């Protein structure tokens, strides 16, 4: 059975502006430049393209969406704020790490892969990718968790949007989705935030892009950090949906939380992988604070 999770990754650099960049030495800056090039290649080569939906979607719709993306990209290119530009580059690096970890090192468990969304869904809906699971132990056909690479200053906004989705009884729809023989929209996509602080992202770049050791990377503690972030959010969002009597949405989040819980258990118990010092990640702490705020919401 195929199941999908969509995710959001969280980038802590925007809040610090250029300070994070200034604190890096020349070796680290060169490493990040190399990592950015490799990450951009990964994402550009795998992302869904609206043009591939010709014959399924109206040509005018596709043209409007492509024009929308170009307009937004031009706005970014015209932005002269070096802090925001640096934050965007680092967001690309982190998203590339997320994809590479899942596809090459099994960070999301066996049978899991990350599908890079189209620029339309990335920009318009804030979903950077879909985690797809091929699992035989459930009866669900599809499961999706949305992932969005965002910046620290936007963390509260992202959680407010997720909260609003639950309150309104609606979950996002991915407009351009493709997997196997399926091509079309993917509805009812819950979202989560995944992230790491600056020192951890630099360490990940060293581990993955500088001197990769696949066997060690398959046991990297970051996989436990991202899975815990996802599980805590899915459980908290399910509880919030239950509080508001949003039964169908609660079921989606409970289902997804159980999938992630099983993956965590397998990696922790059978695999013996430990989180270690990565548990002290400041972005993880920020996510937990947002969830505490949600718990107290009426």
Closest C-alpha to 174, from 158, 190, 160: 190
Residue 54 resides in a domain? yes
User: Radius of gyration of the chain from Cα atoms?
Assistant: 18
Confidence of residue 139 (pLDDT cuts 50, 70, 90): very low
Residue-by-residue DSSP string for the chain: -EEEEEEEEEE--GGGTTHHHHHS-HHHHHHHHHHHHHHHHHHHHHS--GGGGBTTB-HHHHHHHHHHHHHHHHHHHH---HHHHHHHHHHHHHHHHHHHHHHHH-TT-TTEEEEEPPHHHHHHH---EEEEEE-SSSS-S----EE--EEGGGHHHHHHHHHHHHHHT----EEEEEETTEEEEE----EEEEE--HHHHHHHHIIIIIS--HHHHTT-THHHHHHHHHHHHHHHHHHHHHHTT-HHHHHHHHHHHHHHHHHHHIIIIIS----GGGGG-HHHHHHHHHHHHHHT--
pLDDT of residue 6: 66
Range of the domain at 160: 2-215
- Residue 152 domain flag: yes
Residue 258 covered by a domain: no
How many structural domains are present in the chain? Answer: 1
Q: Angle at which helices 155-168 and 282-295 pack, to 10 degrees? A: 30
Flag whether 224 is in a domain.
no
For residue 186, the model assigns a pLDDT of: 93
Tens-digit pLDDT profile for residues 241-272: 999 999 999 999 999 999 999 999 999 998 89
Q: Mean pLDDT of all residues in the chain?
A: 87
Domain assignment present for residue 178? The answer is yes
- Angle, alpha carbons 102-108-109 (nearest 5°): 110
Query: What is the pLDDT, as a whole number, of residue 74?
Result: 95
151-170 average pLDDT score: 84
Instruction: Report whether pLDDT(150) > 60.
Output: no
Residue 15 in this model has a pLDDT that exceeds 70: no
Q: What is the pLDDT of residue 23?
A: 64
Residue at 240 is within a domain:
no
Residue 89 lies in a domain: yes
> Does residue 14 have a pLDDT over 60?
no
Assigned domain for 290 exists: no
User: For the whole model, what pTM was predicted?
Assistant: 0.87
Residues 53-106 have pLDDT tens digits of 999 999 999 999 999 999 999 998 898 888 888 888 888 999 999 999 999 999
pLDDT tens column, 114-130: 999 999 999 998 888 99
Q: How far is the C-alpha of 180 from the C-alpha of 257, rounded, in Å?
A: 25
């Amino acid at each position: 059975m195929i199941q999908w999770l969509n995710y959001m990754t969280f980038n802590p650099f925007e809040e610090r502006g250029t300070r994070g960049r200034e604190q890096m030495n020349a070796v680290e800056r060169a490493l990040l430049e190399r990592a950015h090039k490799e990450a951009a290649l990964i994402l550009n080569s795998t992302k869904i393209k609206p043009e591939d939906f010709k014959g399924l979607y109206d040509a005018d719709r596709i043209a409007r969406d492509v024009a929308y993306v170009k307009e937004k990209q031009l706005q970014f290119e015209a932005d002269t704020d070096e802090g925001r530009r640096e934050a965007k580059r680092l967001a690309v690096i982190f998203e590339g790490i997320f994809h590479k970890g899942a596809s090459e090192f099994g960070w999301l468990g066996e049978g899991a892969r990350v599908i890079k969304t189209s620029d339309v869904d990335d920009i318009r809906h804030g979903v950077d990718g879909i985690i797809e699971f091929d699992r035989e132990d459930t009866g669900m056909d599809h499961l999706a968790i949305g992932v969005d690479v965002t910046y620290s200053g936007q963390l509260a906004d992202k959680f407010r949007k997720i909260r609003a989705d639950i309150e309104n009884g609606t979950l996002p729809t991915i407009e351009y989705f493709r997997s196997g023989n399926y091509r079309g929209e993917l509805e009812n996509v819950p979202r989560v935030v995944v992230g790491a602080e600056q020192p951890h992202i630099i360490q990940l770049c060293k581990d993955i892009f500088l001197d990769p050791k696949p066997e060690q990377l398959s046991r990297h503690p970051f996989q436990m950090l991202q899975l815990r972030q996802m599980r805590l959010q899915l459980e908290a969002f399910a509880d919030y949906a239950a509080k508001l009597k949003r039964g169908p949405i609660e079921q989606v989040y409970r289902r997804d939380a159980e999938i992630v819980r099983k993956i965590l258990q397998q990696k922790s118990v059978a695999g013996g992988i430990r989180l270690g010092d990565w548990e002290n990640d400041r972005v993880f702490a920020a996510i937990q604070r947002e969830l505490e705020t949600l718990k107290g919401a009426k």
